[in-house]
Structure 1
Amino acid sequence: MHNTDTPTVVFVPGLRDHNPDHWQSLLADTLPKTRTVPPLERNSLNLDAREAALDTILSEIDGPVVLVAHSAGVMITVHWAARRDGHQIVGALLVAPPDLETPMPEGHSTVQDLDDAGWLPIPREPLPFPCTAVASTNDPLSTFDRAADFAESWGARLVNAGAVGHLNPISGYGHWEQGHQFLEELLEEVATGAGTDS
């Protein structure tokens, strides 16, 4: 249990769960206070189970938390926040939000499967904590315009990361220096009390 004012950074992976070569894993290794939502059973789509896994991690942390979510982890975060007060969360970095309402490339879950598992519709309510959304201009899982629409509805600051694919190892990330910078900026905002009206 942590009991200090320095936030614990909690990483929320997407549906493909933990990957040691993913920028989330590499970034976690550089930080002093982190937790990562653990993997579920392979191919488990159930959103309630994903939210419960996040709840379990948060219940073990005494103090403020900054969430760092990628891909479907972003959607886990916004669904979680829509159903809970989120008082423990002081900020979030939301990277490459996928457009789950639009059919995805082959090899990904279908819209019907995602709907059946509780992911749809995507929440559009403002998030109750400061957040930064990072979107790509050539993400195969979402157009930039859709990601921008999500960010606006959530009250997030939108960052255009350029043509960086889905910001995963297949896209070459891996180590993502810009992600470290975005997190540092968010932690600084939290520390100074900036952005609390987001």
Structure 2
Amino acid sequence: MTPVYLLPGWQNSGPEHWQSRWEAELGHTRIEQSDWDWPRRGDWMARLDEVLLNDARLLSSPALLVAHSLGCQLVASWAEHSKQTARVAAALLVAPPDTESADMPPQLHNWRPIRRTRLPFPAIAVASSDDPFCSLERAAQMAADWGAELVLAGPRGHLNTASGLGDWPEGQVLLNGLLNE
């Protein structure tokens, strides 16, 4: 069975967020960070490396990463620097934020510049046409730079709890597609 790791964004994912529902209902593993409010890119990258290195299952079956918001930037940054990328089979990147935007909160300024290196594993990036944290054009460019397939979610906001996604069955279909690759 392929391990699935959930990578929440800034301020974590609350109990009604689709990531929390997947954790509770499907048994996926959330990667906890030491500081959800003032995230440091290097700290988050080191934590991801630590978790992947300590999971012996990944020697025979690489993991799937399911990232939301800042978690997408974590995957891109981590993949550019880590020597452990072979431990990841694929990634689902949901609602990547534009951390280079002028109106991004100061807590996220250390996530600049956005890492744009092609990912060394297959990825799907899901973007909303009315995400308040990233224009569709910027999301499409990040997906292209990362070598990720872009899936348009329509006008669904930041694809979070406020979007009313519930268990987000469309996302589960995308994840299952990655599991079967």
Q: TM-score, normalised by structure 2?
A: 0.91
1:175 is displaced (CA, Å) by 2.2
CA distance in 2, matches of 1:18, 1:97: 15
| Residue of structure 1 in register with 2:169 after alignment | 177
Q: How does 1:1-198 map to 2 (within 5 A)?
A: 6-32=1-27, 34-62=28-56, 63=58, 64-85=62-83, 86-104=85-103, 109-110=105-106, 113-115=107-109, 117=110, 119-189=111-181
Larger displacement relative to structure 2 (172-181 or 146-155): 172-181
Structure 1's consecutive aligned runs of 4 or more residues displaced over 2 angstroms after TM superposition are 28-32, 39-42
Q: CA RMSD in A?
A: 1.5
Q: CA deviation at 1:27?
A: 1.4
Task: Give, in whole Å, the separation in 2 of the partners of 1:152 and 1:21.
Answer: 30
Which residue identity does 2:72 align to in structure 1? V
Whose helix fraction is larger, Structure 1's or Structure 2's?
2
Deviations 1:67-118 (A, max 9, x none): 00000000011000000131100100000000111123xxx513xx533x3x
* CA drift at 1:45: 2.2
> Residues of 1 paired with 2:169 and 2:144: CA distance?
25
CA distance in 1, matches of 2:29, 2:132: 28
Please tell me whether the aligned partners of residues 71 and 97 of structure 1 are also in contact (alpha carbons under 8 angstroms): yes
Q: Percent identity?
A: 40
Where does structure 1 lack aligned partners over 5 or more consecutive residues?
A: 1-5, 190-198
Question: Shift of the alpha carbon at 1:146?
Answer: 0.6
Instruction: Tell me how far 1:42 sits from its aligned partner.
Output: 4.8
- Contact persistence 2:125–2:150 (CA under 8 A): yes
Query: Could you tell me how far 1:57 is from its partner in structure 2?
Result: 1.6
Structure of larger gyration radius? 1
Residue 192 of structure 1: aligned partner:
none
Cα drift, residue 185 of structure 1: 0.8
TM norm structure 1: 0.83
Distance change >3 Å, CA 15–CA 154, structure 1 → 2: same
Q: Which secondary structure state, in structure 1, belongs to the residue aligned with residue 66 of structure 2? A: strand
